[in-house]
Structure 1
Amino acid sequence: MTASANTNASHAIAPTAAGPTALALATLQALRAELGHAAVLIGDEVPERNRNDNSSQLPVRPLAVVRPADAAGVSAALKACAAAGLKAVPQGGLTGLCGGARPEDGWVAISLERMSGVQEVDSASSTLTVWAGTPLEVVQRAADAAGLYFALDLGARGSCAIGGNLSTNAGGNRVIRYGMARELVLGLEVVLPDGTIITSLNKMLKNNAGFDLKQLFIGSEGTLGIITRIVLRLHGKPRCTMAALCAVDGYDSVLALLNAARSGLGPLLSAFEVMWPDYWQVVTERARVQAAVGQGHAQYVLVEAQGTDEAVDGPRFQAWLEALMERGLLKDAAVAQSLADVQGFWALRDACAEFFQVIGPHISYDVSLPIGRIADFARDCKAALLACDIAGRPAGAGIESIYYGHIGDSNLHLVAWSDGLSLADQPKAQMDATIYGLVQQYGGSVSAEHGIGTQKRKWLGHSRSEAEIALMRTLKSALDPQGLLNPGKVI
């Protein structure tokens, strides 16, 4: 998953609402007595990090932050909030871009930062049981140390929490082979809004005993319950990685290359990343990332394959690529000769993390579209954004945009900005209306892997029917009749 990082530390704190009631303060003091002083921070004790997520909004002053050590602590916190009528928001690594973990004035933040670590590695079942606050990179390293592989990977791996990854059903770089986050989960422990603990730490691939309840909570962004422990599915560790950086003459060739990779590489295919020329120019000329393929091509594609035997899979990958060159499908290509080369190829794709330093303030978008129509969408979207009239700007100045994405899993990322404007002054409302309006026309989704939160809530109806949204609200009402857990998010 590629989303540009930014910080809100320099923003002023938003004005606070009316002060807390005596009942709220008494409830929090009682909770502090139960869980310990360090577990319940009230008022000015709330750290800066718990006042916002990474969604480019003004930070606020939540009433308190509760930092439980286990599911029982989360249960106590939610019961206390229910008793006092306090709204609560679960927080993990706070790397989300859509406001899902952002509190509001008078809310209680329930941070899982102390619920971090690996509880069990089960090599026989190829599973890892972890606390929800565990950073993704810690999960990856634990799997690696056990001789296994956890497939979910994204740029914020060092700071995002695995529970948050599940709450948004994160995708990342290797969805084309391993699927979204929900495909990597076998069991969950969840605390419901009323404090009920549901423990179903299943390790079995096959378990059809009734409803698959874990799916209610994966992707629901902490609105139906708080995930506390997770049984993750691991895979065999790849023994070799092959990669090629390819240049083609248009999107039809991108589709042909994707089909050739699926058929020629089969299960070895692990990533298929496409970069448009505007993106390529920014990362190679402005970010000065070294590229093994030159300028002037219509599309650039990073193809990665993971194998089990370098002596067999390496030559197979090379032969597959050579055959495509002979067919004339590729206009240029570079093949990684070492792990350093693989990392160098990925540096081009990961350079979007530096866009705030390279292109200045901008807004990042994450959408899904039918694979065959992505190029048409990118063309129409770029033209529509450029045609926007921006208040206070010269006619025709428009909105700049660049395009890139995973593509093999339908996911397109784009970055939009108006030169010379601060982040707060970017014409986001016009960007949203233009981009999401076109997403609707093209039959796509306004969120591929970043969730809905508050930032995309207005646009949910562009991708979900009224009946679907009504069913979501029915589930919310059933599990959270008081409407206290992360209200106003998603639906």
Structure 2
Amino acid sequence: MTAPADLITRLADRFGDRIITTGAAIPERYHHDWAGLPPAQPLALARPETTAEVSALLAFCHDARLPVVPQGGLTGISGAAHPDAGCLVLSLERMAAIEALDTEAGTLTAGAGLVLETAQRAAADAGLMLGIDIGARGSCQLGGVLATNAGGNNVIRYGMARDHVLGLEVVLADGTVIDGMNAMLKNNAGLDLKQLFIGSEGLLGVITRCVLRLHPAPSERATAFLGCAGGDAAVALLGAARQALGPMLSSFEVMWPSFFHTMAEGTGLGVPLDGRHGAYVIVEATGFGPGAAQGALETLFERAFEDGLVEDGILAGSLREERALWAVRESPAEYATVLGPIIPFDIGLPIARMAEAVTVLEAGIAARWPTARALSYGHIGDSNLHLVVNVPEAGANQPEDAVKAFVYGVTRDFGGTVSAEHGIGLIKRDYLGYSRSPAEIALMRRIKAALDPHAILNPGKSFAPDPEERQP
């Protein structure tokens, strides 16, 4: 392998300072993502503007055996976009154009660097809706959203990120450009290759452009904030909501008291209901007929109250009230202020055992770390539980290994998954075997070897082989 100094000189000479930044000139924001891993200054940063430039860069790195870490908006919490000192960081942020918005076909064609919220606004301006929505909408980029198969608030109605993709353009490790920019809802000609790259965390290729499916924008949205006796009642309420609202049910978010009261008090956002409850639920319904969603949600509330599933609740009467009801649920960006260093989890659990699992997790953490704060909440309608843990006296040296071993062990025993929507990256790679069989992981690696024979794309992440690989 060429010495790093010579390699970087060749890279800079080949692509110029318009694309390449090296050494101390690389801004610190590219040294890490949201995973909380120690920052690392990469050898170089590449910010291409075209697919041809991405292709040329990857061909160069393939020949030179230079590791490449693709980066999007850097909002992931699994470390998939975290660089190391010997890599080239490849940022797609300059490839952010909206190329087309077809209102008749209901599609949006854009570069991978486009920020999700910008895409949402473009769709809304055209009277349509992009069904993908996550808390980091203002900074995450489409390429990263698709590479991690992001979930978010609307999955219960519109599905995961992959359900919104009609076509992709991807550059392979050797620079080969795969033009799969299909814009048709039906295209059954051969293998659906785009599915290889959605959720692959940049290990198989770099997404450069995409065609996304848009939906008619609902004309009405109704939101309720409900207090339940506990997690079991909240899960039962989910079944009632599915029956009462049908396809109008667009969000179902549950917050256990550990999360809700800690964040409501810590941020000063306040509590919309009197008293304390065993679980707090946000139910959102969207519809197209005047008053249909509001009426259906009111009926659900009344029946759930009569059946003892709900103890108290409030329905938003305006957009301002709606935002206030969501405020605590969307407060995780304040963890650093309210809690300090955290150990975050994004796990999936069978819905029927969700409440039981939360009880086991919170009790187990309290027994092992008596001062710990364990906050539980999530997209329960999608089997997705978020858990964050902080051990106050540990400060910056949180007991990550021990907490992970416990949480992921419980997740495995409950038949869940160690990653519901944030991928594996570096943070969870040792636990991939808790959710995937040896045969599945072996097949993932065979595909990796076929598409990236020199293993330059995101080495050591997720299912990529690592000489120092270990199992917990």
Q: Is the 8 A contact 1:66 1:108 kept in 2?
A: yes
Task: Tell me the residue number matched to 1:421.
Answer: 394
**In 1: Cα distance, 2:157 partner to 2:4 partner:** 52
Q: Is the 8 A contact 1:219 1:451 kept in 2?
A: yes
State the Cα distance separating 1:352 from its structure 2 match: 2.2
**1:234 alignment partner AA:** L
Change (3 A) 1:19 1:434: farther
**In 1: Cα distance, 2:274 partner to 2:257 partner:** 11
The one of 126, 144, 149 aligned to 1:146: 126
- The answer to whether structure 1 residue 345 and structure 2 residue 325 are counterparts is yes
Task: Tell me the residue number matched to 1:456.
Answer: 428
Q: 3-state SS of the aligned residue for 2:99?
A: strand
**In 2: Cα distance, 1:430 partner to 1:150 partner:** 40
Question: What do residues 378-437 of structure 1 show as CA deviations (whole Å, max 9, x unaligned)?
Answer: 111112212226xxxxxxx353211111100000001101113323x0111111101001
Task: Tell me the residue number matched to 1:283.
Answer: 263
**1:331 alignment partner AA:** E
**In 1: Cα distance, 2:388 partner to 2:148 partner:** 20
Q: Is the 8 A contact 1:31 1:77 kept in 2?
A: no
**In 2: Cα distance, 1:308 partner to 1:147 partner:** 13
Q: Is the 8 A contact 2:371 2:392 kept in 1?
A: no
**In 2: Cα distance, 1:372 partner to 1:482 partner:** 44
Task: Tell me the residue number matched to 2:372.
Answer: 399
- The answer to whether structure 1 residue 251 and structure 2 residue 204 are counterparts is no
State the Cα distance separating 1:19 from its structure 2 match: 10
**In 1: Cα distance, 2:71 partner to 2:165 partner:** 20
My pick for the range that moved more, 144-153 or 242-251, is 242-251
Q: 3-state SS of the aligned residue for 1:53?
A: coil
Question: What do residues 188-231 of structure 1 show as CA deviations (whole Å, max 9, x unaligned)?
Answer: 00000010000111111111111010000000000000000000
**In 2: Cα distance, 1:313 partner to 1:21 partner:** 60
**In 2: Cα distance, 1:437 partner to 1:325 partner:** 36
Q: Is the 8 A contact 2:8 2:44 kept in 1?
A: no
State the Cα distance separating 1:22 from its structure 2 match: 5.4
Equivalent runs, 1:109-258 vs 2, <5 Å: 109-258=89-238
**In 1: Cα distance, 2:293 partner to 2:415 partner:** 38
Task: Tell me the residue number matched to 2:456.
Answer: 484
Structure 2 spans left out of the alignment, 5+ residues: 464-472
Question: What do residues 88-140 of structure 1 show as CA deviations (whole Å, max 9, x unaligned)?
Answer: 11111111111111111121111101111211001111000010011111110
The one of 377, 388, 406 aligned to 1:434: 406
My pick for the range that moved more, 334-343 or 178-187, is 334-343
Question: What do residues 311-351 of structure 1 show as CA deviations (whole Å, max 9, x unaligned)?
Answer: 33322322332232233331111111111111111102112
Q: Is the 8 A contact 2:244 2:296 kept in 1?
A: no
State the Cα distance separating 1:58 from its structure 2 match: 1.3
**2:192 alignment partner AA:** D
**In 2: Cα distance, 1:449 partner to 1:327 partner:** 33
**In 2: Cα distance, 1:21 partner to 1:277 partner:** 52
Question: What do residues 12-62 of structure 1 show as CA deviations (whole Å, max 9, x unaligned)?
Answer: xxxxxx994454134303422xxx422111222222121211111111121
**In 2: Cα distance, 1:457 partner to 1:295 partner:** 42
- The answer to whether structure 1 residue 443 and structure 2 residue 426 are counterparts is no
**1:227 alignment partner AA:** I
**In 2: Cα distance, 1:107 partner to 1:174 partner:** 36
**2:160 alignment partner AA:** M
**In 2: Cα distance, 1:368 partner to 1:324 partner:** 26
The one of 299, 303, 308 aligned to 1:328: 308
Q: 3-state SS of the aligned residue for 2:291?
A: helix
TM-score (norm 2): 0.95
**In 2: Cα distance, 1:131 partner to 1:80 partner:** 22
**In 2: Cα distance, 1:78 partner to 1:421 partner:** 42
Q: Is the 8 A contact 2:220 2:291 kept in 1?
A: no
Change (3 A) 1:250 1:26: closer
**In 2: Cα distance, 1:128 partner to 1:102 partner:** 29
**1:78 alignment partner AA:** L
TM-score (norm 1): 0.92
**In 2: Cα distance, 1:77 partner to 1:282 partner:** 47
Task: Tell me the residue number matched to 1:273.
Answer: 253
State the Cα distance separating 1:255 from its structure 2 match: 2.3
Task: Tell me the residue number matched to 2:30.
Answer: 50
**2:186 alignment partner AA:** K
**1:374 alignment partner AA:** M
**2:283 alignment partner AA:** V
**In 1: Cα distance, 2:266 partner to 2:8 partner:** 52
**In 1: Cα distance, 2:443 partner to 2:87 partner:** 26
**In 1: Cα distance, 2:231 partner to 2:394 partner:** 33
> RMSD between aligned alpha carbons?
1.5
Task: Tell me the residue number matched to 1:366.
Answer: 346
Q: 3-state SS of the aligned residue for 1:377?
A: helix
Task: Tell me the residue number matched to 1:392.
Answer: none
**In 2: Cα distance, 1:472 partner to 1:416 partner:** 31
**In 2: Cα distance, 1:22 partner to 1:255 partner:** 58
- The answer to whether structure 1 residue 466 and structure 2 residue 438 are counterparts is yes
**In 1: Cα distance, 2:256 partner to 2:32 partner:** 33
What is the identity percentage for the equivalent residue pairs of Structure 1 and Structure 2?
48
What is the number of equivalent residue pairs in this alignment? 463
**In 2: Cα distance, 1:455 partner to 1:329 partner:** 37
Q: 3-state SS of the aligned residue for 1:245?
A: strand
Q: Is the 8 A contact 2:112 2:141 kept in 1?
A: yes
**In 2: Cα distance, 1:116 partner to 1:419 partner:** 41
Q: Is the 8 A contact 1:27 1:80 kept in 2?
A: no
My pick for the range that moved more, 84-93 or 352-361, is 352-361
**2:456 alignment partner AA:** L
Q: 3-state SS of the aligned residue for 1:360?
A: coil
Structure 1 spans left out of the alignment, 5+ residues: 1-17, 390-396
Q: Is the 8 A contact 1:43 1:61 kept in 2?
A: yes
**In 2: Cα distance, 1:44 partner to 1:296 partner:** 52
**2:436 alignment partner AA:** R
**1:444 alignment partner AA:** G
- The answer to whether structure 1 residue 408 and structure 2 residue 372 are counterparts is no
State the Cα distance separating 1:481 from its structure 2 match: 0.6
